[in-house]
Amino acid sequence: MADVRPWLNHNGLAVYRIAVGEPIVFMPGPHRFERVGLAGADALIAGLVKLGRQVLTFDPPGSGLSTRVARPGLTEMHTCVDEVLACAGLSEPVDFIGHSMGGLVTLAYALERPARARRIVLVGTGSGRPAYTKAPGALWNAGHPGFRRMAMLGILQQAWPARGPERVLNNLIQEESFVDRGLADHRQVGWRDWFRAREGWAGWHWQARKLDYSHRLTEITAPCLILCGRHDPQFPLACSEQLAQGIPDAHLVVFEHSGHSPFIEEPAAFWAAVDRFVG
């Protein structure tokens, strides 16, 4: 993706408006600890631009080029989206796309602001904590073979709030999340990272423990495309099936040879499905 520069709104939020065309909001992960530039975010943004869409997104408070301090709670993320739409001068409903935890935030936003969402694309996500901790094969399910190692790293991550533990844990999650592990986006970990404060919303996962929208899925009024890799360990297929069964106007597409990022492992099929829905 070509380098893009954001503008800071009056509240210190770094807002990105990428390319031209019909706008679509790309919801960033609220826990992201680095700016737009992660491989997954770049791949999704680049794909949307190729479809002729203008991508609206932002650096969550506390990360990237945003100067606003992160505050706990989904209300902050919802406020950020409202500000992005205001910056773009949009008052009519628009399309949304969210991946993983960004998809969970998108789901929450559509429930709280139903008049703002025209169509929704949810990629590798679910209805909340019960979905991604109890589903068979989930990374945070105690039955997963790598659970103990990841739990120990998670504890270290909380106790030692630096980039080192964060990146080591993320690298492990990346390896588990691809069918082709050679596609995993490993972040280099240097000795300075063990003493350099991490960015982003360090407490997001503790906040996410409280989230469960499974009982509200029937309230989603916008058409919804649900995309999931069959081998996704972060939000396993059962999470997407639950969404598809609960959301009234939903369509599920499963990618047989993908993990958590089908837009990287099966890009042609992935973008064909997105194009049919929002094209």
The 10s digit of each residue's pLDDT in 47-63 is 999 999 999 999 888 88
Q: Is the pLDDT of residue 2 over 50?
A: no
Number of domains, the chain: 1
Q: What is the pLDDT of residue 259?
A: 96
Classify residue 177: in a domain, yes or no: yes
Q: Is the pLDDT of residue 151 over 60?
A: yes
Overall average pLDDT of the 191-212 stretch: 79
- 125: nearest Cα among 141, 106, 105, 103: 103
Distance CA 171, CA 176 (A): 9
Classify residue 93: in a domain, yes or no: yes
CATH assignment at residue 204: 3.40.50.1820
Overall average pLDDT of the 84-104 stretch: 95
Q: What is the pLDDT of residue 37?
A: 43
Write the burial class of residue 142 (CB in 10 Å: 0-12 exposed, 13-18 middle, 19+ buried). exposed
Classify residue 2: in a domain, yes or no: no
Classify residue 1: in a domain, yes or no: no
Work out the mean pLDDT of the chain and round it to a whole number.
Answer: 89
Q: Is the pLDDT of residue 202 over 90?
A: no
Instruction: Indicate the range of 193-207, 236-250, 261-275 predicted with least confidence.
Output: 193-207
Overall average pLDDT of the 83-95 stretch: 94
For residue 95, the cross-strand partners are 24
Classify residue 122: in a domain, yes or no: yes
Contact 56, 25 (CB under 8 A): yes
Q: What is the pLDDT of residue 5?
A: 59
- 224: nearest Cα among 263, 152, 278, 186: 278
- Cβ neighbors of 223 (< 8 A, separation 6 or more) are 119, 120, 249, 250, 251, 277
Q: Is the pLDDT of residue 67 over 50?
A: yes
Classify residue 77: in a domain, yes or no: yes
Overall average pLDDT of the 30-44 stretch: 63
Classify residue 83: in a domain, yes or no: yes
Angstrom CA distances, 37 to 58, 63, 121, 225, 263, stand at 12, 12, 21, 25, 16
Range of the domain at 272: 7-278
Residue 136 Rama label (left phi>0; alpha psi -120 to 50; beta): beta
Confidence of residue 185 (pLDDT cuts 50, 70, 90): confident
Q: Is the pLDDT of residue 102 over 50?
A: yes
Q: Is the pLDDT of residue 213 over 50?
A: yes
Q: What is the pLDDT of residue 35?
A: 44
Instruction: Tell me which of 2 and 60 has the higher pLDDT.
Output: 60
Classify residue 227: in a domain, yes or no: yes
Could you say which DSSP state residue 53 is in?
E
Query: Considering the chain, what percentage of its residues have pLDDT values greater than 90?
Result: 59
Contact 110, 220 (CB under 8 A): yes
Instruction: Indicate the range of 74-88, 119-133, 185-199, 236-250 predicted with least confidence.
Output: 185-199
Q: Is the pLDDT of residue 98 over 70?
A: yes
Instruction: Indicate the range of 191-195, 205-209, 215-219 predicted with least confidence.
Output: 205-209
Q: Is the pLDDT of residue 94 over 60?
A: yes
For residue 18, the cross-strand partners are 55
Instruction: Indicate the range of 11-25, 61-75, 264-278 predicted with least confidence.
Output: 61-75
